[in-house]
Amino acid sequence: MNLPPRIAALVRRSRRRLPLGWRQLRHDRGRLAVALAGIAFANVLMFTQLGFQAALYDANTLLNRTLVAELVLLSPKAQNLQSLSTFPRRRLLQARDVPGVADGQGLYLQNLSWRNPQTRRNATVQVLGVDPDARVLNLPELNRQRDRLKLTDTVLFDRLARGPYAETIALLEQGQSVSTEAERRSLTIAGLFSLGASFGADATLVMGDQTLLRLFPHRDPGSLSLGLLRLEPGVDPRRAAAAVQRHLPEDVRVLTLADYVRFEESYWRTASPIGVIFGLGTAMAFLVGVVIVFQVLTTDVNAHLGEYATFRAMGFRQRYLLLVVVEQALVLAALGFLPGAALQLGLYALAARATALPIAMTAPRALLVFGLTLLMCLASGAIASRRLQAADPAELF
């Protein structure tokens, strides 16, 4: 083998040193198993917290990300999808005058209390009112059935909705239609599409804009929730957004689609306590891990104080013992992370099914949790290494 001299020297040095920390850990299998279980547990807690946090952000921008638009118009008072407020429909028409803007579509969003067709109980769902002739959502299954929305009081339903809808969905999958009622009107569910639940909305209904205006007679047809602008090919969305914003009065806000997704996400990050809750949960999991690993490492140091004192007597430095504890911390972090991450793959699948939220393992999150695990083990090692002072060779004789 021809290694560069520096690496060859490093290999020689690492071969010279016995992996004492690992040998000690391996010697006591019971303690090792407890340590690894503890770390895996802390890992699972962290993964779960971070997973739910990410799912919250992802789920709450699902609808935003499926909009067919380069630019989005919304009210300056808008906070999130559930409280968008409205702006005058006229702005949409004015925006189309701006060079580069090809087309514009309006969207009505409402919360609707309807009767769950399966349980016959009242439930709140999110309703989208769209022009049946326009492709406003990037959902092929939905777009194939858009013609049905031209029928009065006919709606399409999200099969990934959260809640007791399994039987309803099964009937619809068989091609039957299901009827229910809302606002004292009878509604017909004519088909399904796939979007997904969010923390803000358990279920989503899509209906024709005329049906929506009939269901909500007090809603002004001239007030839109969202405006979707398509640009001509090759037009830069950022510049176009600025141009449209300049052209329109201040009662409407113009965002690129990417900025609109970020706007939704930042609402959940800052205005909702959920980010803080999951952040705190992750911190607690981290602390639990520190305590567990600290216990294990301290017990190990205490169990080997005599041997450590002997090494000190033989002329090993305190630093050597510190290195043993650090080695143990790193080995525990690496070995504990693997079962933790493997277990989490299964738990994510379970959680995704139980909550209808888009939860899955991602490489950046796995890296983050591994980094936190390393940090957790090193912090525990740093505290546990204080016990090394008790390894006094003068007490040996």
Binding interface with another protein (CB under 8 A)? 12, 15-18, 20, 23-24, 26-27, 304, 306-307, 310-317, 393-394, 396-397
Determine the distance from the C-alpha atom of residue 148 to the mean position of all C-alpha atoms in its chain, rounded to a whole number: 34
Can you point out the beta strands (E) in 169-225?
Answer: 178-182, 185-193, 204-208, 223-224
Considering beta carbons, is residue 134 or 384 the nearer one to another protein?
A: 384
Q: How far apart are CA 27 and CA 25, in angstroms?
A: 5
Considering beta carbons, is residue 14 or 174 the nearer one to another protein?
A: 14
Considering beta carbons, is residue 66 or 310 the nearer one to another protein?
A: 310
Q: Report in angstroms how near the CB of residue 312 gets to another protein at its nearest.
A: 8
Considering beta carbons, is residue 315 or 346 the nearer one to another protein?
A: 315
Task: Write b or e for each residue in 155-167: b if 16 or more Cβ atoms lie within 10 A of its Cβ, otherwise e.
Answer: bbbbbbbbbebee
Look at residues 200, 120, 112, 210 and name the one whose alpha carbon lies nearest to residue 157.
112
Q: How far apart are CA 113 and CA 183, in angstroms?
A: 8
Considering beta carbons, is residue 15 or 121 the nearer one to another protein?
A: 15
Q: Report in angstroms how near the CB of residue 320 gets to another protein at its nearest.
A: 9
Torsion of CA 146, 148, 149, 153, to 10 degrees: -160
Q: How far apart are CA 298 and CA 287, in angstroms?
A: 16
Considering beta carbons, is residue 217 or 315 the nearer one to another protein?
A: 315
Q: Report in angstroms how near the CB of residue 197 gets to another protein at its nearest.
A: 53
Q: Report in angstroms how near the CB of residue 351 gets to another protein at its nearest.
A: 40
Q: Report in angstroms how near the CB of residue 32 gets to another protein at its nearest.
A: 11
Residue pair 43/337 in contact by the 8 Å Cβ criterion: yes
Residue pair 162/123 in contact by the 8 Å Cβ criterion: no
Q: Report in angstroms how near the CB of residue 26 gets to another protein at its nearest.
A: 7
How many H helices and E strands in the chain?
Answer: 14, 11
Considering beta carbons, is residue 304 or 365 the nearer one to another protein?
A: 304
Q: Report in angstroms how near the CB of residue 350 gets to another protein at its nearest.
A: 39
Q: What is the DSSP string of 39-103?
A: HHHHHHHHHHHHHHHHHHHHHTTHHHHHB--SEEEE-TT--BTTB---EETHHHHHHTTSTTEEE
Q: Report in angstroms how near the CB of residue 15 gets to another protein at its nearest.
A: 4
Helix axes 318-355, 274-303, angle to 10 degrees: 140
Q: Report in angstroms how near the CB of residue 382 gets to another protein at its nearest.
A: 21
Q: How far apart are CA 175 and CA 173, in angstroms?
A: 5
Dihedral angle sign, alpha carbons of residues 107, 113, 114, 116: positive
Considering beta carbons, is residue 15 or 120 the nearer one to another protein?
A: 15
* Residue 355 CA neighbour count, 13 Å, CB half: 19
